[in-house]
Amino acid sequence: MTSKKSPTQKRITKPKYQFDALVIGTGPGGEGVAMQLAKAGKKVAIIERHHSVGGGCTHWGTIPSKALRHSVSRLVEYNATPLFNDSEETRRLTFEQILSSASAVIRKQTILRRGFYERNRVQVIHGEASFVDCHTLEVHRKDSMETITAEKIVIATGSRPYTPNNVDFNHPRIYNSDSILSLNHDPQHIIIYGAGVIGSEYASIFKGLGVKVDLVNMRERLLSFLDAEISDTLSYHLWNSGVVIRHNEQYESIEGKDDGVVLHLKSGKKMKADCLLFANGRTGNTDMLKLENVGLTTDSRGQLNVDHNYKTEIDNIYAVGDVIGYPSLASAAYNQGRFAAEAMLNGECHASLVEDIPTGIYTIPEISSVGKNEQELTSQKIPYEVGRAQFKHLAKAQIAHNLVGSLKILFHRETKEILGIHCFGERASEIIHIGQAIMQQKGKANNIEYFVNTTFNYPTMAEAYRVAAINGLNRLFT
């Protein structure tokens, strides 16, 4: 005779979900986690509110702005090269004309990213997602609604431009960094409010098109997180090209008119231009998710708090990318997605972002940095020396007529360990990775003498490392 099982002996059955994981957002973070989980054999779906995959990075942020910058940079280069332009007439292009080039890149990137999901059997669901509970999402479309369940959910919804309520962004002459891509007139004068990375990049773009630019900065200096010497170089370069920079200013009101925009500053100044680009920060795309249904809250900029595994306060809900704040970079977001997937698969993430994350700022010319700057090393009382290479002395820069710029290497005076690298000039965001690779080496392998003892192709821009290293070592004394 068999005895009845007690309640504690009953087998607990795991609830059945439609998917192992649901990912909200198809930007770099969402793509990273979806690909990693799919390759591990998990059943994954990814939800995208727009008609095409790729997220803000592909459609409104990184890809279009860098494609615009590239076109304008080539135009500036053409006009500055006597071989191609030996007449007194300067060739001009309109913003609308260079947008066509960006559109082609966006289309190619969208097709490429769609192929990733198809090959890895990740189901793409289009619609607006919101939480019902911690395992259930509603996906709303124009004429229908679908409920989907999953064991784990990842929030990778990205960010959008910060748009304060007292600015009328519906006015046809007032733009943010997304809507500026719909600019369909040819401004002669633009005000850019906000001199961060986005504002500085667009100041370069519009100035390269021959537009009069006023750049309004709320801080004492441009991009104050940069090495001061690099920041000063950018300020001088923009000033020398004709950009008017106003520091320590804040807007009182922004008045849209039929023929332009008037910016009223708290200092009492008034500025008028054909249009205004408001580029003062970003906010996380979390307000439409109904996070209150699962007990999650965000900060004032719509960002979520996560642990080292990219897990939120809710055990099965993760978040990656711009919605968790720093570093808010597309490259970092993709890796965050991969790391979050590892934590979801194994219970723990054993990888992390590199300590020294390179920054790439696509002004004209570019800026890129990795590691410590001079201010940080001085405040930390670390004995360092500086090695410099001016691009105008490099054969490759002379051949390419890219004479503006320099490379700066900061290294420890005693151990010769590389502490920071800062580059200003064309292709800076590519050049920086040579130094980054050596900085990531452990122990004696991270040594400025590597650049003196190795052999570089000649002529190349990479040769700047050898020149800067010799310059720095020559500064040492016993």
Comparing 70-84, 133-147, 180-194, 386-400, which segment has the lowest mean pLDDT?
A: 70-84
Distance of CA 5 to the CA centre of its chain: 58
Structure tokens at 99: 């947008």
Angle at 11 between CA 5 and CA 14, to 5 degrees: 160
> Under a CB-based contact definition with an 8 Å cutoff, are residues 420 and 410 in contact?
yes
Res 442 pLDDT > 90? no
pLDDT tens-digit series, residues 148-167 = 999 999 999 999 999 999 99
When pLDDT is averaged across residues 353-376 and rounded to a whole number, the result is: 94
Both tokens of 317, joined, read 């809900």
Interatomic CA distance for residues 290 and 135, integer angstroms: 13
Q: Which residues contact 164 (CB under 8 A, 6 or more apart)?
A: none
- The answer, yes or no, to whether residue 4 has pLDDT greater than 60, is no
Give the model's pLDDT for residue 81: 76
Amino acid at 359: T
The position carrying tokens 């191609």 is 84
Percentages helix, strand, coil for the chain, rounded to the nearest 5?
35, 25, 40
Task: Tell me the pLDDT tens digit for each residue of 197-217.
Answer: 999 999 999 999 999 999 999
Instruction: Tell me the pLDDT tens digit for each residue of 160-196.
Output: 999 999 999 999 999 999 999 999 889 999 999 999 9
DSSP for 180-199, please give it. Answer: GGG--S--SEEEEE--SHHH
CA–CA dist 299, 414 (Å, integer): 44
| pLDDT reported for residue 223 | 96
Would you say 358 and 369 are in contact if contact means Cβ atoms under 8 Å apart?
Answer: yes
Q: Which CATH superfamily is domain 174-280 in?
A: FAD/NAD(P)-binding domain (3.50.50.60)
Instruction: Please give the pLDDT value at position 12.
Output: 52
CATH 3.50.50.60 domain residues, the chain: 19-161+283-346, 174-280
Query: Can you say whether residue 24 is alpha, beta or left, with left for phi > 0 and alpha for psi between -120 and 50 degrees?
Result: beta
Beta strands 282-284 and 189-193 are unpaired
> For the chain, where do the domains classified as CATH 3.30.390.30 start and end?
365-473
Of the options 1.10.1040.20, 3.50.50.60, 3.20.20.70, 3.20.20.80, the CATH number for the domain spanning 19-161+283-346: 3.50.50.60
pLDDT of residue 467: 97
What is the average pLDDT across 105-131?
A: 95
Residue 83 backbone phi and psi in degrees, to 5 = -60, -35
The pLDDT, as a whole number, for residue 163 is 94
Do residues 123 and 44 lie in contact, with contact meaning Cβ atoms separated by under 8 Å?
yes
pLDDT at 15 exceeding the cut of 60 = yes
What does the pLDDT look like over 382-423, one tens digit per residue?
A: 999 999 999 999 999 999 888 999 999 999 999 999 999 999
In order, the DSSP letters of 220-288 are SSTTTTS-HHHHHHHHHHHHHHT-EEE-S--EEEEEEETTEEEEEETTS-EEEESEEEE---EEES-TT
The answer to whether the beta carbons of residues 309 and 324 sit under 8 Å apart is: no
Are the C-beta atoms of 284 and 322 separated by less than 8 Å? yes
Mean pLDDT across 311-335:
95
Whether the per-residue pLDDT at 2 is higher than 50: the answer is no
Residue 268 has pLDDT above 80, yes or no: yes
Query: Would strands 367-371 and 359-361 be described as parallel, antiparallel, or unpaired?
Result: antiparallel
Average pLDDT over residues 277-282: 95
* Cα distances (angstroms) measured from residue 339 to each of 100, 103, 162, 333, 343: 36, 31, 28, 10, 6
Asked if residues 276 and 173 have their Cβ atoms less than 8 Å apart, the reply is yes
Average pLDDT over residues 101-109: 90
For residue 1, name the pLDDT band (cuts at 50, 70, 90): very low
> Which stretch of DSSP H or E encloses residue 469?
helix 464-473
Give the pLDDT confidence score for residue 392 in this predicted structure: 96
Distance CA 272, CA 256 (A): 10
Q: Are 448 and 387 in contact (CB under 8 A)?
A: yes
What's the number of CA atoms in the CB half-sphere (13 Å) around residue 117? 26
Contact 66, 362 (CB under 8 A): yes
Supply the pLDDT for residue 88.
65
Cα pseudo-dihedral 311, 316, 322, 328, rounded to 10: 30
Q: How far is CA 431 from CA 99, 358, 459, in A?
A: 27, 11, 14
Nearest to 310, CA basis, from 156, 472, 413 = 156
Q: Which long-range contacts (CB under 8 A, 24 or more apart) does 305-311 make?
A: 308/349, 308/352, 309/339, 309/340, 309/343, 309/348, 309/349, 310/336, 310/339, 310/340, 310/343, 310/349, 311/340, 311/343
405-418 as b/e, with b when 16 or more CB fall inside 10 Å? Answer: bbbbbbbbeeebbb
Q: What is the percent of the chain with per-residue pLDDT over 70, rounded to a whole number? A: 96
- Of 189, 211, 233, 261, the C-alpha closest to 93 is 211
The token duo for 399 is: 């051949």
Alpha-carbon distance values, 148 to 16, 269, 474 (Å)? 12, 54, 65
Determine the pLDDT at residue 478. Answer: 54
Whether the predicted pLDDT of 265 surpasses 70 = yes
Given this structure, which CATH class describes domain 365-473? alpha beta
Whether omega for the bond prior to residue 365 falls within 30 degrees of 0, making it cis, is yes
Asked if residues 76 and 166 have their Cβ atoms less than 8 Å apart, the reply is: no
